[in-house]
Amino acid sequence: MTKLKLKDWIIPTLGVFVVCGAIIVYYLIGNIINYNFNPEQDLVTSPIIDATQEVQKEVTKKPIKPFNNDQVSISKNYYSYEDEEKVQEQSLIQYENIFMPNTGILYSSDSEFDCIATLDGKIVSIKDDDILGTIIEIEHSNNIVSIYESVKDVKVKIGDTIKQGDVIAKSGPNKLTNEKENCLHFETYKDGSLINPEDFYNLDLS
């Protein structure tokens, strides 16, 4: 009789434990699943490495004009042997009854303006000339040289490394024309040959 009663008590009790255990296991598994995947959590959608940074470093700068003043204009254009005769006549420089083809562009303004670096480069020469005034020569990559003539208040020295847009001098007088006191005669060379600065600004340096 005692054995029967014990058996009748143990079997239901074990059943209760099994059911409770199953519930606990189900609850734990559910928590693990919810922890590993929560649709409301913020997801990382952007790349860990910003590839655009490397792309920007590889982009080569285009040349800019040697000034950033809207009041500056062209007084004398570059002389090109391919231009029409009338255009060539306007690109000649007269000095003491001598006519010479303009090897650059003469810029001028009614007021003083900054002369800035057309590209990154290195100052290789600074000298004074009785006619052209102070002359600054800059070497750039891709076998490019830019020359600034008729400037004053030079801000750089030989050997300086400069960045595009850096102010290197102020506009000055030009004895070749005597038009205005604020001038810049700008010459550009590629692979040792003169090129029209207007063409130089559009060079593909990639």
pLDDT single digits (tens) 169-204: 999 998 887 667 899 999 999 999 999 999 999 998
- Closest by CA to 141, choosing from 158, 117, 157, 108, is 117
Burial of 116 (0-12, 13-18, 19+ CB in 10 A): buried
Per-residue pLDDT, averaged over 57-80, amounts to: 87
What percentage of residues in the chain have a pLDDT greater than 90? 57
Given the candidates 2.70.70.10, 3.40.50.2020, 3.40.190.10, 2.40.40.20, the CATH classification of the domain at 63-200 is: 2.70.70.10
DSSP secondary structure code for residue 39 in this structure: T
What local confidence, expressed as pLDDT, does residue 188 receive? Answer: 98
Q: What whole-number distance in Å separates Cα of residue 76 and Cα of residue 174?
A: 12
pTM: 0.71
Q: Where are the domains of the chain?
A: 63-200
pLDDT at 68 over 80: yes
Per-residue pLDDT, averaged over 39-67, amounts to: 62
Tens of pLDDT along 134-151? 999 999 999 999 999 999
DSSP secondary structure code for residue 172 in this structure: B
